[in-house]
A and B are shown apart, each in its own frame.
Chain A
Amino acid sequence: MARRFIAFAWLLALVLLLTVVIVLQKPQIDSDILALMPQSDTRIDNVEAHFFADNKQQIMFSITGKHAKQAHDKLNEWLIANDLPARFNVPRIDVLSQFYAPYAGRLLSQEYRAALESQQAFNTFYYQKLSQLADPFVSTTIHLDTSLSLGSFLAQQMQTLQTFNLEENRLTVLHNDAKYYLLFAQINDNAFGIEQAQQLTASIEQQLSQLAVDFEQTTVRYSGAVFHTSANASQAKYEMTLFGTLSLLALITMIIWVFRSSVALWLASLTVLSAILGGATVLLMAFSEVHILTLVFAVTLIGIAIDYSFHGMLDLSSGQANGYSRGVKVALLLSLLTTSLGYASLYFSPMLLLAQVGVFVVAGLFSAWLCTLLITQQWQHQLIIAAPIINIANKLKKILLCWLKLRRYVLLASVLLIALCYLHTPVSFNNDVRLLNASPQTLIENEAFHLSLLGRGNGQIMIMFADDEQALLKQLASFKTTLSLQYPDATVNVLSDLLPSAAMQMRNSALVKEKQQQGFFTEVENMTGQPIIVSTKVLTLDSLLTSPLAPFIEQQVMISDEFVASWFMVTDVPTRVLAESASADPHLLVYNKVALLSEGLAHYSHSLLITLGCAILLAGFLFAWRFGVVCAFKQMAVLAVTIAIILSLCSVLQGSLSIFNLLGSLLVMALSIDYLIFYQVNQLSRENIIAISLSAVSSMWVFGMLAMSITPAIYSFGLTIMIGLIAIFILAPLTLAMPKRKEK
């Protein structure tokens, strides 16, 4: 009764402590992956949501084939009926003309500037404009500006803005001699919840299936972030349910099989719960904002914490002492110290995520260690190892003793394996975030195809920063001029096209006035009976933000207290050239989210590699202090060989390594250090062999099963742990000099 009370009191104290911390700290869960990236420019963090948040809510359909028009209309009706309104709106020319009219003469197109080079060129330009069958820009602006500078300016801008054709109120585009009808829709903010995303995707897919039945020889493609969310979430949910259930059942079965008692299950659960509660409490005390990925990465704590429970329970069940043996106490303490030191090194990582993982795991392990020492031993009299397990342990001991005699051959075979793997596939890291995408191939292909339909297949987004509006406009214009001279076929649509800088506007009006004085417009003024008036009013960003183009401009420019920024798309210019331009200009950035995420992952990988090195080094010092230099050397060698086997084998099986292999290696390293310590302290004792075997098998069940996942990140993590645990299970006993009795 008393021990149950103590256990519950312990749990209650941890829960209360966590609650107090939550109430006082009011922690926030952050899910912005880019925010974690140490090398990402903070300016990108500031502008990204403003510029590109809407894109996440857009879905796009392209329809082609025999009955494309009918399929388009039916899908459009369905989208409207399902509250998914079309996003695309063509600005009205007459409204635009009215807005820009007060600035006539200050905004000149390239065509108009060329026309002003000579009287003859201007007359040709002017008469050609008027003699055309119909020019909507001439019609809608000539009564506002008889010089036609305004009409010419608007015509140039609209041609840039309007990417698609409008055919009977349907958007179309020609691609590889085929006509595609396009539909864009805007989904609600709340559609990004996993459930909502899945529901929306399911209903759209159902509608597309119906269209496929109704309209033969017609292809409908769809793309949008929401479909990726849904596909990845469905896969993750399926795998979590399957693997979670299987591993939990296997773990429960294993514990009950070994101890033949539900008490062991309760104690193991209590230790893991203590670890999680203790870890979370200290984590939230240290950080008021926790990243969601911290919780994902910190799952490794469970694998290490449960081992304390196994070692503790098996030592207690041997019944050779009242309470824990000295050997187990020492081993548990050493294990806690080495693993904690390894994970503590993460705290000094420049990556916030890894620092949080480090704090969580160290605190969790301490909590699990306390629980094992203070609570678990209260149940000593109820812990008995089943007889069949003892027989298995005895047999395993004989095998390990034989194994020990063959240690040179085993080590040689290990080195040979590593060498062969390296020759087959040299170890290399590829942290391209796209490799982690678990979305169906069709969805990825649709995304790429739609980008090419939009003319962005070879496009690159860039962002220009400046101290103020005028500086930004000048920088944009200057960049465009330089790039266009170098690459005449390049397409660069920048804000300064729609809004020339005040200086440029002044130069334009000076040019028009000069030509007026030279008599360029006399013939026109006689013909129209209206004098040409050059505006003195300056078009500003504030004014443009009240224009019919405001929705477009608002999304393209951001004004903050510290800076003004604008993004733009560049096509038909090599990425290398743009990267060079960006590195030469501190105001210019190439925005490539995939590259940014990949770069961030590469930095995490680097940090993890350093952490692994630190962990091995720290463990080495402790081993040397506790077990002597020779033994420490053997243990270090085993750790190094284990890591080498993991990395080389994973390299062969995956083609290249990612951060998830290193994360798995870190967990294997923590478990390996535990095994090495327990082998040194408790040698090949029956309980020790069972505890280590139980730990290895349980970790394989819980984490190794993830190697069955088709999600690349989870697969890499699981595969690493599976290989690592097998390797260390074989190699760890080889560090023993000779069989010894358990320390008392």
Chain B
Amino acid sequence: MIRFVLFCLSCLLTTVISAAEQPPNRAGEFSQEKYFAGFTKPFISSGVFLLDAEQLKWQVTKPVTNTLLIKNGQVYLENAQGEVVLQPGAAPFVSLLQAIISHDLDALKPQFTFSADTQEGCSLLLPKDQLLSQLFVSFQLCVVAGNVQQVRLNEHNANYTIIRFNYSAPVKPTTAEASDIN
């Protein structure tokens, strides 16, 4: 379940980043704010990401290190010991990933309903998938000048997550280089 959601969201992010019609190699920093209903303040984490033709690496660096890697249609998680562990069961979503990376709207349409968001430059993706729609109301994508600036994940229980991207910052992945995984 977790793997599935992680994978779908990673796919979504890949799409978001790819959607800007930029050259395929993308890298930058991100910050993530999680707002939980009833909590006094949000939980903030940050990290770096790297997207190229072969993989997406999503690495949280603060407050703890946590790395997610999608390569060759598989999802890998780096554990506490720094070992990269294959997450079995994620392979079925490879087609979804490919569709998102290539920004294949025809392939995405059966899985998401697109609607215009009230906020300028943003669009709303409503998941059709039974499991995703159980967890999320919608995904909001905001693109400025061809770059995805922000993604907001809206959950049913009034929790939401905002992820902001910064493409200009240099990326220094710590461990689990893509070349290690084959």
Q: Do A and B bind each other?
A: yes
Binding site for B on A (CB under 8 A): 90, 92-94, 123-124, 127-128, 130-137, 139-140, 142-143, 155, 158-159, 162, 165-169, 172, 174, 179, 527-530
Question: B2 is contacted by which of A92, A127, A137 (Cβ under 8 Å)?
Answer: A137
Tell me if B130 and A169 are in contact (CB < 8 A). Answer: yes
Complex alpha-carbon distance, A450 and B153, angstroms: 38
Complex alpha-carbon distance, A298 and B166, angstroms: 85
From known contacts A93-B134, A130-B45, infer whether A143 and B37 are also in contact, taking CB-CB under 8 Å: yes
Q: Which residues of the other chain, A, contact B9 by a CB distance below 8 angstroms?
A: 133-134
Q: Can you name the residue of chain A whose Cβ is closest to the Cβ of B80? A: A124
Q: Which residues of the other chain, B, contact A179 by a CB distance below 8 angstroms?
A: 91-92
Q: Can you name the residue of chain B whose Cβ is closest to the Cβ of A163? A: B89
For chain B, the bracket of interface size reads 35 or more
Q: Which residues of the other chain, B, contact A131 by a CB distance below 8 angstroms?
A: 32, 43, 45, 47, 60, 63-64, 66
Complex alpha-carbon distance, A123 and B65, angstroms: 12
Q: Which residues of the other chain, A, contact B4 by a CB distance below 8 angstroms?
A: 165-166
From known contacts A131-B66, A142-B36, infer whether A174 and B159 are also in contact, taking CB-CB under 8 Å: no
Instruction: Give min CB distance, B132 to chain A, whole Å.
Output: 9
Complex alpha-carbon distance, A392 and B156, angstroms: 94
Tell me if A143 and B38 are in contact (CB < 8 A). Answer: yes
Complex alpha-carbon distance, A131 and B34, angstroms: 8
Instruction: Give min CB distance, B181 to chain A, whole Å.
Output: 18
Top-4 shortest CB links A-B: A529-B40, A131-B45, A127-B64, A165-B92
From known contacts A90-B131, A131-B45, infer whether A124 and B1 are also in contact, taking CB-CB under 8 Å: no
Binding site for A on B (CB under 8 A): 1-2, 4-6, 9-10, 13, 32, 34, 36-41, 43, 45, 47, 58, 60, 63-64, 66, 68, 80, 89-93, 96, 110-111, 128-131, 134-135, 153, 155-157, 159, 161
Q: Can you name the residue of chain A whose Cβ is closest to the Cβ of B10? A: A133
Tell me if B5 and A94 are in contact (CB < 8 A). Answer: no
Instruction: Give min CB distance, A734 to chain B, whole Å.
Output: 72
Instruction: Give min CB distance, B74 to chain A, whole Å.
Output: 11
From known contacts A165-B89, A169-B129, A529-B40, infer whether A139 and B64 are also in contact, taking CB-CB under 8 Å: no
Tell me if A139 and B157 are in contact (CB < 8 A). Answer: yes
A-B contact pairs, 14 of them (CB 8 A): A123-B64, A130-B45, A131-B60, A134-B6, A137-B2, A139-B157, A140-B157, A142-B36, A165-B4, A165-B93, A167-B92, A174-B89, A174-B92, A527-B40
Tell me if B63 and A127 are in contact (CB < 8 A). Answer: yes
Question: A143 is contacted by which of B92, B135, B157 (Cβ under 8 Å)?
Answer: B157
Tell me if A167 and B93 are in contact (CB < 8 A). Answer: yes
From known contacts A131-B66, A133-B58, A174-B91, infer whether A166 and B45 are also in contact, taking CB-CB under 8 Å: no
From known contacts A124-B64, A143-B38, A167-B93, infer whether A155 and B2 are also in contact, taking CB-CB under 8 Å: yes
Complex alpha-carbon distance, A123 and B110, angstroms: 41
Complex alpha-carbon distance, A700 and B92, angstroms: 60
Instruction: Give min CB distance, B126 to chain A, whole Å.
Output: 14
Inter-chain pairs besides A132-B66, A133-B9, A168-B128, 16 sampled, C-beta below 8 Å: A90-B131, A94-B157, A123-B64, A127-B45, A130-B43, A133-B32, A133-B58, A134-B9, A137-B2, A139-B135, A142-B159, A143-B37, A155-B2, A166-B130, A528-B40, A529-B39
Complex alpha-carbon distance, A674 and B130, angstroms: 74
